[in-house]
Amino acid sequence: MKILVCISHVPDTTSKINFTEDGTKFDANGVQFVINPYDEFALTRAMWFKEKQGATVTVASVGSALVEPTLRKALAIGADDAVRVDSEPFDGYYVAKQLSEVIKTEGYDLVLMGKESIDYNGGMVPGMLAELLGFNFVNACIGLDIDNNSASAIREIDGGKEVLKCSLPLIAAGQKGMVEEKDLRIPNMRGIMMARKKPLKVVAPVDFSATTTTVRYEKPEAKGACKLVDATNIDELIQLLHNEAKVI
């Protein structure tokens, strides 16, 4: 079984985010980038298939050379090789189109990725990719097993879970539950050294124009001052909720 894990190169959630050029450009100075956390669940599940069922695991990302350390980390965790599409990830449709060409060329049986990236939270790429390729698709996946050419998946729905069965090829967009957080892997020294020797192929993007343009970024408004009310002063609390917060 050939597995492709799609990796997003995203800012660490602890990074301080700023914008330049009057809010039109993201300022990457001083920002630590990591594997998208949702993609880490997918990568860890792929490693399970590699160890238990002898699957081969490739990781892929759309981006400049700046994303290569993130791909190398995935290789250090245990992926066999990596592919980088040499282009900026302009929007979700553009990324899906570029990844679809990689998948068509290499013929993967199973494509795993996170349900969304934590920077833009678009959640578009998995579904678009499935439509472009004509693959079966499971979103919000919290469990996945493969038996020969058949897949059994569990996905999260409002108020419960849904069990699905389908054939490969399949795209599964995962989240916490596909594996547990305690099962996520940290590269060890041996893995880091081996990752340096593993192949990382750079491919040219296909000719395709982005369909959306970012006009401006804005930060959320700063939180206002917090007023403390004595627990016994119910009248003041009601007055503040009614006249200032206007929630009653």
The boundaries of the domain holding residue 24 are: 2-221
> Is 113 inside a domain boundary?
yes
Per-residue confidence of the chain (248 residues) as pLDDT tens digits? 999 999 999 999 888 889 999 888 889 888 999 999 999 999 999 999 999 999 999 999 999 999 999 999 999 999 999 999 999 999 999 999 999 999 999 999 999 999 999 998 999 999 999 999 999 999 999 999 999 999 999 999 999 999 999 999 999 999 999 999 999 999 999 999 999 999 999 999 999 988 888 899 998 888 878 889 998 999 999 999 999 888 88
State which H helix or E strand residue 209 sits in.
none
Measuring CA to CA, how many Å separate 22 from each of 18, 26, 88, 132, 217? 11, 10, 21, 36, 9
Q: What is the pTM of this model?
A: 0.88
> Is 231 inside a domain boundary?
no
Is 63 buried (19+), middle (13-18) or exposed (0-12) by CB count in 10 A? buried
Number of domains in the chain: 1
> Is 105 inside a domain boundary?
yes
> Is 245 inside a domain boundary?
no
> Is 6 inside a domain boundary?
yes
CATH number, domain of 20, equals 3.40.50.620
> Is 232 inside a domain boundary?
no
SS (H, E, C) 51-89: HHHCCEEEEEEEECHHHHHHHHHHHHHCCCEEEEEECCC
> Is 244 inside a domain boundary?
no
> Is 136 inside a domain boundary?
yes
Helix (H, G, I), strand (E, B) or coil at 131: helix
